[in-house]
A and B are shown apart, each in its own frame.
Chain A
């Protein structure tokens, strides 16, 4: 059964034109999210994962811009839209939950009114009173007491504010929520609850979620499919079981080998040597080769091909290329 695509990104390049050089933060990324899926985009700081999120939202901060590629959101190519058209799609088709979003709530405005304001702006309602019942429903959806609609942010705990932010992201019934490190800086118990809320909202509404994070254990726990991003490129993708049980790319293997777990035998962790590259001057060939223990001659010379194992299941690594191709 073909699944409905909610988001399709093709060969996207988003670069920052800084005085020090061109930062190739997103450099040829393909990514797909289907309806009702929770897809994780994993990478270390500075790999370009947040820039990818900003590109989808049409909010790449200057001096950055989308250089080439396509971003289809249910068949509309966002890259071609004007700012005004984007503004209409933003929040109604795709919304975002930011890292620390709970601190971006307006402190002098009731939380319910902040959601109603967004609905007014997008002409879903014409008078504020019409929005109240919707907001109450949203609050129930995210497990908040509907009477909290007239609370101010300071009257709510961190976890409750995070729920308000999720309710706000759902206000216009979007097809996709981009959650950029939604639980970083929260305590583990709160984090677990928030992820449960997101999953629950997804189950009830069928919204797709693109989770952007560096937290591998979290990804293992909540996601259906995973994209691994390194230095502006997707190096591997697959379903969550394949990625964690039999990772193919040496970078994915390295990441998984570097993360301690509270379960299983205590093992010696092997940190990846070195640091991610400066994206103004990425290494030639495979961008991971200076840190890779399995690097061959060709890795430093030519960009690795994409080896497909199935739909939405590929790795970009010379190790998987046929002998004859490795020259």
Chain B
């Protein structure tokens, strides 16, 4: 059944309980939850760069963590290569050989590297822990090769440096190298360039593309930045308060957004063209993103949506097909 699909999520949910006082819990009669991810289903094809985009608190990072096993879903299933992996506790991932196949690249190159380790040791650790090298020579070769692949050249010069001796861009390359050192099949890259200066972002983004074309790696690219999403991505899902509101081919979703939230998001993004920017009409929502504790009933956007109708506050909108492989979840688009 897997065929072309590498990763599949079915009705994925992740709720975090909110700590309340004993009295409050009696008065309320029920526990309250942060619904970080609330019933999300999607498929990621082999060799695809799939993007999840959304603002702070949308649940995009939690979705990524669920896929790499850093969080366990409250309910729903995750399939990898046709096999169900969502029930496997994280401690058994290594035994199942999943750790070698599924990796993550983190956002902050300043916080995600051990400051007391040489670059060499940072890259050696996953190889040793997962017992994929049999000799010191092999270890050395693989690390040097990976450093070269992330364009830290000459590799011998970078291998025996500490993270603080590297610039932000070089550190992020080390973070990418660490994510790729086990030669995984699927990598979740969570905002891999958001801490970098604009002039060097493209370099790191191009690395993802290179690993895809060279090794056939499949990526989930998580970002708040639709411009970089468009640059690297194939398909995109726009996330709002724990739900996907629109999915489709990246260019199609950005050029022809159908959901009011996507429209607002796209029109808020500055465009590096002063003439166009002065003509452009913004589509605005009311207020700001609410907390995912007790999100609004019905469509989660309805209190902020200028186009909201009666039904929006009562019933959750269905996912509607609006174009080839393009779906949006909005009552305006549904046939009633």
Interface residues of A (CB under 8 A from B): 44-45, 157-159, 187-193, 214-218, 220-222, 240-241, 244-245, 254-256, 258-264, 266, 269-272, 275
Whole-angstrom distance from the CB of B268 to the nearest CB of chain A?
Answer: 4
* Contacting pair B197 A214 (CB below 8 A): yes
Q: How far is the CA of A260 from the CA of B193 in the complex (A)?
A: 12
Q: Which of A189, A240, A255 contacts B274 (CB 8 A)?
A: A240
Q: Which of A187, A188, A266 contacts B230 (CB 8 A)?
A: A266
- Going nearest first, the 3 A-B pairs with the smallest beta carbon separation are A269-B202, A217-B270, A192-B268
* Contacting pair B168 A45 (CB below 8 A): yes
* Contacting pair B270 A241 (CB below 8 A): no
* Contacting pair A254 B199 (CB below 8 A): yes
* Contacting pair A259 B227 (CB below 8 A): yes
| Residues 257-269 of chain B, each 1 if its beta carbon lies under 8 Å from chain A, else 0 | 0000000111011
* Contacting pair A45 B197 (CB below 8 A): yes
* B residues near A191, Cβ cutoff 8 Å: 268
* B residues near A256, Cβ cutoff 8 Å: 272
Whole-angstrom distance from the CB of B52 to the nearest CB of chain A?
Answer: 15
* A residues near B205, Cβ cutoff 8 Å: 269
* B residues near A263, Cβ cutoff 8 Å: 271, 273, 276
24 residue pairs of the A-B complex, CB under 8 angstroms, read A187-B55, A187-B56, A188-B226, A188-B265, A190-B288, A191-B268, A193-B284, A216-B198, A217-B270, A220-B272, A220-B274, A244-B273, A245-B275, A260-B228, A260-B231, A261-B272, A262-B254, A262-B269, A262-B271, A266-B230, A266-B251, A269-B206, A269-B231, A271-B201
* B residues near A189, Cβ cutoff 8 Å: 55, 264-265, 268, 285, 288-289
Whole-angstrom distance from the CB of A272 to the nearest CB of chain B?
Answer: 4
Q: Is B96 an interface residue (CB 8 A)?
A: no
| Residues 186-213 of chain B, each 1 if its beta carbon lies under 8 Å from chain A, else 0 | 0000000000011111110110000000
Q: How far is the CA of A49 from the CA of B272 in the complex (A)?
A: 20
Q: How far is the CA of A270 from the CA of B56 in the complex (A)?
A: 29
Q: How far is the CA of A244 from the CA of B170 in the complex (A)?
A: 29
Whole-angstrom distance from the CB of B245 to the nearest CB of chain A?
Answer: 14
Interface residues of B (CB under 8 A from A): 55-56, 167-170, 197-203, 205-206, 224, 226-228, 230-231, 251, 254, 264-266, 268-277, 282, 284-285, 287-289
* Contacting pair B169 A258 (CB below 8 A): no
* A residues near B287, Cβ cutoff 8 Å: 157
Q: Which of B167, B170, B197, B224 contacts A187 (CB 8 A)?
A: B224
* A residues near B198, Cβ cutoff 8 Å: 44, 214-216, 255, 258-259
Whole-angstrom distance from the CB of B199 to the nearest CB of chain A?
Answer: 4
Q: Which of B199, B224, B266 has the most CB of A within 10 A?
A: B199
* Contacting pair A221 B270 (CB below 8 A): yes
* A residues near B264, Cβ cutoff 8 Å: 189
* A residues near B254, Cβ cutoff 8 Å: 262
* B residues near A220, Cβ cutoff 8 Å: 270-274, 277
* Contacting pair A271 B202 (CB below 8 A): yes
Given contact pairs A190-B288, A259-B272, a sample of 9 additional A-B residue pairs in the complex whose CB atoms are under 8 Å apart: A188-B55, A193-B284, A215-B198, A221-B270, A241-B274, A261-B227, A261-B272, A262-B226, A271-B203
Q: How far is the CA of A188 from the CA of B261 in the complex (A)?
A: 12
* B residues near A261, Cβ cutoff 8 Å: 227, 271-273
* Contacting pair B201 A258 (CB below 8 A): yes
